[in-house]
Chains A and B, each alone.
Chain A
Amino acid sequence: MKKHASNIVFDVENIRNDFPILSRNINGKPLIYFDNAATSQTPQQVIDVIVDYYSKYNSNIHRGVHTLSQEATDKYEGARQIIQKHFNALYSHEIIFTSGTTHSINLVANGFASLLTKDDIVLVSALEHHSNIVPIQMLCEKTKATLKVIPMTQDGALDMDVYDTLLLLNPKLVFVNHISNALGTINPIKEMIQKAHKVGAAILIDGAQACPHIKPDVQELDVDFYVTSGHKMCGPTGVGMLYAKENWLNKLPPFLGGGEMISEVTFNKTTYAELPHKFEAGTPNICGGIAFGAAIEYMNSIGFGAIASYEHELLEYATKKLKAIDGMKIYGPRDNKTSVISFNIEGIHSYDLGTIIDKLGIAIRTGQHCAQPIMDYFGISGTARASFSFYNTKQEIDVFVEGIKKAAMMLR
């Protein structure tokens, strides 16, 4: 893998060369990709790993005695160790491969269906993506447990006073994201985890939006469950992970039944496999898992410190420029956020704005961002969201801002 001289000078042009998609033209204009919070782009180093897998050692893992199967198993388990090391999990079997964050949350929520009763309380934050709301609603429907919401404030942060009050009800489980996908808010998860543990609650952190920008340390956080997706951090779609403390993985029942997750099967009784395989039924996304590991290595070769400071620079630059546009309203916190700008221009629908700037080759997300409760809170139908990654540039932001101005002129 090509190495980058990290932390010295942030050589964005060199980094951009790693991403073949960035040289595409869209509607005759150079692509400006500002929809990174939805999916990040894939560097050649990761594409090579995918091609390599299918060209050289594609085979099923964990069961074959032949060379290809052993090579694939080694790479797949190697990826698990890369992920373990990256998140600083105590054991590699605490890393469960899933199809992504949504799958991971469903796995945990489903597991708790046998542990909760109608007298239990579950907390969820108001800042969540639908993926971290619906599985919990389903859990509460099944168990008749009560779902309570940790509300948000006008500046797009969680109301920690109300959180403290809700904890007095002795909830069993808390679901909160590390970073809001719609607003970029960084939640005080360390504090929230500590407080949850004081009342005996387990806590799941949805890290889908955090992992592209921050390197979480699950032991330092002392978090029970931490989940994320590969495709947000330069990996492929269809793969993600669940980190869970070993004791929780022993306590929770399996989510899916099938091959790989069993130790012995008779029609009288099946015993489940050891961790992590208990939660990995069926042939997994082998190539995806290996490429996820490669993506994490790629991001580490650039360095999360360098990524965070460069992205912050982009955020500040874009915020300043956008604020100068007439009728601009930016939602969410001013500080303590990642490189996401959620905004509207007075009198203009975000759908119209997104449609026009797509014609200029600029990709942003518009609408509710799968976070309808947040939009309802602000009383809006949606926002336009520009989200920057370490391979974006200030020049791109200049073109984007001019595009927004042009669209606003057409639409007003």
Chain B
Amino acid sequence: MYFCSMKIETIKEELIDEFSMFEDWIERYEYMIELGKSLPIINTKFKTEDNVIKGCQSKVWLHADLENEKIIFTADSDAIITKGIVAILIRVFSNQSPEVILDSNTDFIDEIGLKEHLSPTRANGLVSMIKKIKMYAVAYQTQIGL
């Protein structure tokens, strides 16, 4: 069900390409909403309180598993725009090794015109989600190292 293990930079370029086709914010948001709607991105059994990342307004659930030394992230949100961005983040960061995740940044979010969603003052839990993704990467890196 996951994208085959593509290079993280290739995925980012793909996303930047896709978003560059849109002429205005409406198309961009409609695509994001589409991404949010189309992805069943977490098994409901993982939508637990432990997995909740609380923004002030929208909730994000994030779950991680290690498979073949790669981290598989699954996630969801109660707000559809947030869910769209969650889907984008999952597409980039899931099925990558902890090292790659830790070395990678989120500049592509700016390049696809969604920077406003990653402002720390934006109460949607996405900044916390990225922190959590990195934390999982650190944790699994340690586990693999052992």
Q: Which residues of A contact B (CB under 8 A)?
A: 27, 348-352, 355-356, 359, 366-368, 381-382, 410-411
Q: Which residues of A lie under 8 Å from residue B82 when comparing CB positions?
A: 349, 351-352
Contact of B25 with A27 in the complex, beta carbons under 8 Å: yes
Given the known interface contacts A27-B25, A359-B29, the answer about A352 and B79 at a Cβ–Cβ threshold of 8 Å is yes
Q: Which residues of A lie under 8 Å from residue B30 when comparing CB positions?
A: 410
Query: A352-B79, A352-B80, A410-B26 known; 6 other A-B pairs, CB under 8 Å?
Result: A349-B82, A351-B81, A351-B82, A368-B56, A410-B33, A411-B33
Given the known interface contacts A351-B124, A410-B30, the answer about A367 and B78 at a Cβ–Cβ threshold of 8 Å is no
CA distance A359 to B29 in the complex (A): 10
CA distance A356 to B33 in the complex (A): 11
Contact of B80 with A349 in the complex, beta carbons under 8 Å: yes
**Which 8 residue pairs spanning A and B have beta carbons closest together?**
A349-B79, A367-B57, A351-B79, A351-B57, A351-B58, A352-B81, A352-B79, A352-B80
19 contacts between A and B (CB under 8 A): A349-B58, A349-B78, A349-B79, A350-B57, A351-B57, A351-B79, A351-B81, A351-B82, A351-B124, A352-B79, A352-B81, A355-B81, A359-B26, A367-B57, A367-B123, A381-B57, A381-B58, A382-B57, A410-B33
Q: Which residues of B lie under 8 Å from residue A367 when comparing CB positions?
A: 56-57, 123
Interface centre among A350, A355, A356, A411 (most CB of B within 10 A): A355
Within 8 Å of chain A (Cβ to Cβ): is B134?
Answer: no
Q: Which residues of B lie under 8 Å from residue A381 when comparing CB positions?
A: 57-59, 78
CA distance A352 to B26 in the complex (A): 13
CA distance A293 to B129 in the complex (A): 45
| B interface size (C-beta, 8 A) | 16
Shortest distance in angstroms between A358's beta carbon and chain B's nearest beta carbon? Answer: 9
Given the known interface contacts A351-B124, A359-B25, A367-B123, the answer about A411 and B80 at a Cβ–Cβ threshold of 8 Å is yes
CA distance A359 to B26 in the complex (A): 9
CA distance A212 to B59 in the complex (A): 33
CA distance A51 to B57 in the complex (A): 37
Q: Which residues of A lie under 8 Å from residue B123 when comparing CB positions?
A: 351, 367
CA distance A381 to B60 in the complex (A): 13
Contact with A along B1-40 (1 / 0, CB 8 A): 0000000000000000000000001100110010000000
Shortest distance in angstroms between A222's beta carbon and chain B's nearest beta carbon? Answer: 38
Shortest distance in angstroms between B43's beta carbon and chain A's nearest beta carbon? Answer: 21
Q: Which residues of B lie under 8 Å from residue A368 when comparing CB positions?
A: 56-57
Closest to A27 in B: B25
Closest to A356 in B: B29
CA distance A25 to B52 in the complex (A): 37
Q: Which residues of B lie under 8 Å from residue A411 when comparing CB positions?
A: 33, 80
Shortest distance in angstroms between B28's beta carbon and chain A's nearest beta carbon? Answer: 10
Q: Which residues of A lie under 8 Å from residue B29 when comparing CB positions?
A: 356, 359, 410
Contact of A366 with B57 in the complex, beta carbons under 8 Å: yes
Q: Which residues of A lie under 8 Å from residue B26 when comparing CB positions?
A: 359, 410
Shortest distance in angstroms between A348's beta carbon and chain B's nearest beta carbon? Answer: 8
Closest to A381 in B: B78
Shortest distance in angstroms between A351's beta carbon and chain B's nearest beta carbon? Answer: 4
Q: Which residues of B lie under 8 Å from residue A366 when comparing CB positions?
A: 57
CA distance A367 to B78 in the complex (A): 12
Shortest distance in angstroms between A378's beta carbon and chain B's nearest beta carbon? Answer: 15
Q: Which residues of A lie under 8 Å from residue B79 when comparing CB positions?
A: 349, 351-352
